[in-house]
A = this chain, B = another copy of it.
Amino acid sequence: MKFKHVVVALTAIALSSSTLAQVKPEQQIKWRQSVMQVQGWSMGRIKANVEGTYNKDQVIQAANVLQATANGGLGALFPAGTEKGTGWRESQLKPEYFTNGDKVREVAMAFNKEANELAKVAATGDAAAVKAQFGKLGQACKGCHDKFRVEEKK
């Protein structure tokens, strides 16, 4: 099951934006920035739960959003050339994204793996296990951001 998820994610990256090819780059940047925000929201919810009062249903909701978006074909929102361009705001994508496919696949697979695992752990309601897996997913997020995201301008 986990393997299938990874395969689907990689296929999505390979497909690029075939079915939505008519969509403007600016809209694709806006969508991917939105996905990142939704993932940030979900991570924040889980953090609040593992550091405060634990609510199993809330953690499951957030983990399911992370899993679905991690496996959601996000790679299609990174067509060539979109290291420049403005969605909600200026793109923060480094040009290296388009020249280091091996590393992109590596960080994407790590993100998929940890998000799938978090959804599994969240379903058990084991707060300590969720906290540990949340840390691993955070590292996977950071692995991609460190490599491919330009620091946000404040």
Contacts and interface: CB of A to CB of B under 8 A. Distances in A.
By secondary structure, the A interface counts as helix
Contact of A48 (B19, B34, B45, B58): B19
Given A31-B37, A34-B34, A19 B55 contact: yes
A58 B19 contact: yes
Interface residues on A, range: 35 or more
Given A19-B45, A19-B48, A19-B52, 9 more contacts: A12-B58, A19-B49, A20-B44, A31-B41, A33-B34, A61-B68, A61-B73, A64-B71, A65-B69
CB-based closest 8 A-B pairs? A68-B68, A34-B37, A34-B34, A19-B48, A31-B41, A64-B68, A65-B72, A88-B88
